[in-house]
Amino acid sequence: MLLKSVKSWMLLVLVVLTQQVYATEGMWLPQLLSNLNEKEMKGMGMKISASDIYNINKGSLKDAIVSFGGFCTAEVISSQGLLLTNHHCGYDAIQKHSSLEHNYLDNGFWARTAAEELPNPGLTATFIVRIDDITKAATQNVKAGMTEKERQSVIDKQLAIIKKEVKKESWQDVMIKPFFEGNKYYLFVTETYKDVRLVGAPPSSIGKFGSDTDNWVWPRHTGDFSMFRIYAGKDGKPAPYSQDNVPLKPKYFLPISMKGVKKDDFTMVMGFPGRTTEYLPSEAVKQTVEVLDFSKVEMRDAALKIWDGYMRKNEQIKIQYAAKYASTANAWKKWQGEMLGVKKTDGIAKKQRYEANYNQLLNANPALKQQYAGVLDTLNELYIKINPYAQARDYYNELVKNTEILTAVDKLIALADDAESQGAGQYNTLRDKFMESMKAFYQNYNAGVDKDVFISLMDIYAAKVPANFRSARFNSSWASFTDSRKLADQVYATSNLTSYDKLAAVMQQPQQAALATLAKDPAVQLAIVLREGFREKVAPTLNALQLDINNRQRTYMQAQMDVFAGKKNFYPDANSTLRVTYGKVDGYSPADGVQYDYYTWLDGVMEKYIPGDYEFDVPAKLIELYKNKDYGKYGVNGKMPVCFIASNHTTGGNSGSPALNANGQLIGLNFDRTWEGTMSDINYDPSICRNIMVDIRYVLFIVDKFAGCKRLVDEMKLVN
């Protein structure tokens, strides 16, 4: 008996120890690694040191990583400023250069010489020069008892002073961001290059292989990469586009490992994750997955089903709705994975246990108890209070976002508002710009499709949003229609917003006449009545509660850090700043009886191949290379690796981030997460949270053997 309990005690210690070794949660600030993470990273197998990752005195890994256009990450992989990022990150740029004669999305694009590299006005690459902790200076005038508004105003005044006085070169910029819900402030000195040219992209049948069906899914077989190049002025400094610009000589670029990875190998991902909320109380997690995700998915289910039905039957509609479908489905699928993952890992109970632990420690410490008494309970209560308002907001937002005629009215209202605020003289310019954007809008618009979406979503809105959260005018007009089909018939038969030509005819009239006509438009009237409901019945309470929540969330954040001081390291939620995350190569079990491997191969591409399919077609050249096993130096024992997964904690914005091995060499390119693990934004769990990367050898194989663009591989530094 005693032996048995000693044994189980030892087992427990072992479990706790291995859990410590595998503490892969966290998006860490690169300048704090030496204090917080270096020991653990080395324990997990890292061979380099924290100062090789972030160093302001010599070139380090951070000098090879850029924020790509502010929405993705990219990395420098040659001494000539060559950039690697995802195909889905370069997508807009590739699309803009595409035409019927040169369909780079379908056929790929490869600049055979530097002269063929294509400029992309507006696309930027931003390096982080230095990160400073400015919390003290930023918050020095904050006094206890200040309201949220007063507090923000004294901080903003300080930030303005700090920004003005910061030491930096003339071509550098400064950015300041709050961390830990505003408990800390960091300043970033940055360098933004504005001449970023497209160098290469595989065809979508490689770069987007599997498309929406495989999105967020493992096993995955997508070669999700594209290449760009940073150009600088002759002095090496950022410069606007010019033919005379030269390829950037970077402070550092990533060497590329040809060795691949195996199970349990250390991996690290550096990049610019966008947004996470890891420190919410349990009621907020519950609300996210049980109420808000559910409502948003419900609305998008309905819209996507209708779009899909039309897209399958009609080629024209397929082209018009493909991009809308992809972006709407991306979040829709992610939310479903989030609900599933939290359920599967019992995420709410996990939060509740964490809170019980927090309360126990808090109550054992009189000073902290006095300082933070009731903070967590109040926060949980506030989330319960805000719940119906947040749900009504999400139903309303999804209704307007997915019913295109309502989106069009929103744009129209924005035009009217702008015209009013900018003065009568500006109207014609504003209107022309508006009509320009509406031209693009209607190019991808089909009123019949939209009418069906309208019917479906209005029914859900009317059924799910209680009458006291809708405007009185909506309630009375809704009561006069027996169902949404009758309302839709009226709106779509008479509205001027169902086509570009009808709208253009109205907008040709002088400002007052045009606005008077539109004010009588049934789509406009309905949109205004819906908006009124949100503005008057939902927003006031929602916003007041949210302000209160934000304030207390900051206190709760500090409370967690104080209560668990010495027991747990904290990382700040993602906020589009440079972070390091690390983990291990490993498969996972998505369901009872199912075990996923951590690698996929070109064989899997061929297994999924459906000739002519828009998601699963495979280019003839790739099939030929596969048949001949013509993999050059990139294959492994006659097989071609494609993707792999690991337990790095990533989120949206990490797309295009480099995956690095223990030596800081490039082994892959991050582009997605597994479906069951998308909950990592609110509840990271090492058992099922995995990031998906494309193997760098597949990238090189496509560039060299498939595209024959060896000049690019030649400028890289490959290590065996």
Question: The dihedral of CA 350, 351, 353, 358: what is its sign?
Answer: positive
Which of 318, 333, 327, 336 lies closest to 402, judged by CA?
327
Smaller CB distance to ligand ARG: residue 577 or 670? 670
Q: How far apart are CA 649 and CA 655, in angstroms?
A: 12
CA distances (Å), origin 10, targets 2, 15, 21, 567: 12, 9, 16, 21
What amino acid is encoded at 13 in this protein?
Answer: V
- Decide if residue 652 touches ligand ASP (CB under 6 A): yes
Smaller CB distance to ligand ARG: residue 362 or 694? 694
Contact set for ligand ASP, span 450-509 (CB under 6 A): none
Q: Are strands 256-257 and 718-719 parallel, antiparallel or unpaired?
A: parallel
Given 132, 195, 214, 224, which residue is catalytic?
Answer: 224
Task: Tell me, by CB under 6 A, how many residues bind ligand ARG.
Answer: 10
Extract the tokens encoding 364.
Answer: 């054992």
Smaller CB distance to ligand ASP: residue 204 or 654? 654
Minimum CB separation of residue 78 from ligand ARG in Å reads: 26
Q: Which does 211 bind (CB under 5 to 8 A by kind): ligand ASP, ligand ARG, none?
A: ligand ARG
CA distances (Å), origin 569, targets 181, 560, 563, 566: 16, 10, 11, 7
Q: Which does 654 bind (CB under 5 to 8 A by kind): ligand ARG, ligand ASP, none?
A: ligand ASP
**DSSP code for 83:** E
SS3 label, residue 636: strand
- Candidate list 655, 661, 665, 674; residue touching ligand ASP; CB under 6 A: 655
What amino acid is encoded at 63 in this protein?
Answer: D
- Candidate list 655, 657, 670, 683; residue touching ligand ARG; CB under 6 A: 655
Q: How far apart are CA 698 and CA 595, in angstroms?
A: 24
**Catalytic annotation present for 102:** no
Piece of 395-403, 405-413, 475-483, 653-661 that binds ligand ASP (CB under 6 A): 653-661
**Catalytic annotation present for 592:** no
Whether the CB-CB separation of 460 and 302 falls below 8 Å is answered with yes
Minimum CB separation of residue 59 from ligand ASP in Å reads: 26
Extract the tokens encoding 131.
Answer: 């990160």
Piece of 231-239, 550-558, 666-674, 707-715 that binds ligand ASP (CB under 6 A): 666-674
Q: Which does 326 bind (CB under 5 to 8 A by kind): ligand ASP, ligand ARG, none?
A: ligand ARG
User: 175 has which bridge partners?
Assistant: 188
What amino acid is encoded at 713 in this protein?
Answer: V
Please report where in the chains the tokens 């900018």 appear, as a residue. Answer: 422
User: 692 has which bridge partners?
Assistant: 645, 672
Q: Which does 661 bind (CB under 5 to 8 A by kind): ligand ARG, ligand ASP, none?
A: none
- Candidate list 190, 226, 295, 654; residue touching ligand ASP; CB under 6 A: 654
Minimum CB separation of residue 575 from ligand ARG in Å reads: 17
Q: What is the CA radius of gyration of the chain?
A: 27
The length of the chain, given as a count of residues: 720
Whether the CB-CB separation of 243 and 224 falls below 8 Å is answered with no
- Decide if residue 90 touches ligand ARG (CB under 6 A): no
Smaller CB distance to ligand ASP: residue 224 or 704? 224
- Candidate list 132, 278, 452, 672; residue touching ligand ARG; CB under 6 A: 672
Q: How far apart are CA 652 and CA 660, in angstroms?
A: 18
- Biggest distance spanned by C-alpha atoms of the chain: 92
Q: How far apart are CA 649 and CA 559, in angstroms?
A: 24
- Report helix angle 293-313 to 447-464, nearest 10: 160
- Decide if residue 677 touches ligand ASP (CB under 6 A): no
Which run of H or E residues covers position 498? none
- Decide if residue 680 touches ligand ARG (CB under 6 A): no
Please state the separation of Cα 424 from the chain's center in Å: 39
Minimum CB separation of residue 659 from ligand ASP in Å reads: 12
Minimum CB separation of residue 182 from ligand ARG in Å reads: 27
Q: How far apart are CA 670 and CA 692, in angstroms?
A: 6
**DSSP code for 57:** S
- Candidate list 651, 661, 674, 683; residue touching ligand ASP; CB under 6 A: 651
Smaller CB distance to ligand ARG: residue 330 or 558? 330
Minimum CB separation of residue 660 from ligand ASP in Å reads: 17
Lay out the site mask for ligand ARG across 195-224 (x = CB under 6 A, - = otherwise).
----------------xx--xx--------
Minimum CB separation of residue 688 from ligand ARG in Å reads: 16
Minimum CB separation of residue 72 from ligand ARG in Å reads: 9
Contact set for ligand ARG, span 328-387 (CB under 6 A): 330
**DSSP code for 457:** H
- Candidate list 672, 676, 685, 704; residue touching ligand ASP; CB under 6 A: 672
Given 655, 672, 685, 704, which residue is catalytic?
Answer: 655
- Decide if residue 673 touches ligand ASP (CB under 6 A): yes
Q: How far apart are CA 23 and CA 14, in angstroms?
A: 14
Which of 26, 209, 216 lies closest to 677, judged by CA?
216
Instruction: Kindly provide the residue ranges of all beta strands, DSSP E only, lying in 397-495, ordered along the sequence.
Output: none
Smaller CB distance to ligand ASP: residue 331 or 368? 331
- Candidate list 652, 664, 668, 677; residue touching ligand ARG; CB under 6 A: 652
Given 87, 88, 221, 649, which residue is catalytic?
Answer: 88
Q: Which does 212 bind (CB under 5 to 8 A by kind): ligand ARG, ligand ASP, none?
A: ligand ARG
Q: How far apart are CA 401 and CA 464, in angstroms?
A: 17
Q: Which does 651 bind (CB under 5 to 8 A by kind): ligand ASP, ligand ARG, none?
A: ligand ASP
Whether the CB-CB separation of 191 and 177 falls below 8 Å is answered with no
- Decide if residue 326 touches ligand ARG (CB under 6 A): yes
Minimum CB separation of residue 6 from ligand ARG in Å reads: 48
Q: Is 228 exposed, middle or buried (0-12, 13-18, 19+ CB in 10 A)?
A: buried
- Decide if residue 85 touches ligand ASP (CB under 6 A): no
**DSSP code for 78:** S
Q: Which residue is nearest to ligand ASP (CB)?
A: 655
**Catalytic annotation present for 98:** no
Residues that bind ligand ARG (CB under 6 A): 88, 211-212, 215-216, 326, 330, 652, 655, 672
Looking at the annotation, which residues are catalytic?
Answer: 88, 224, 655
Residues that bind ligand ASP (CB under 6 A): 650-655, 671-673
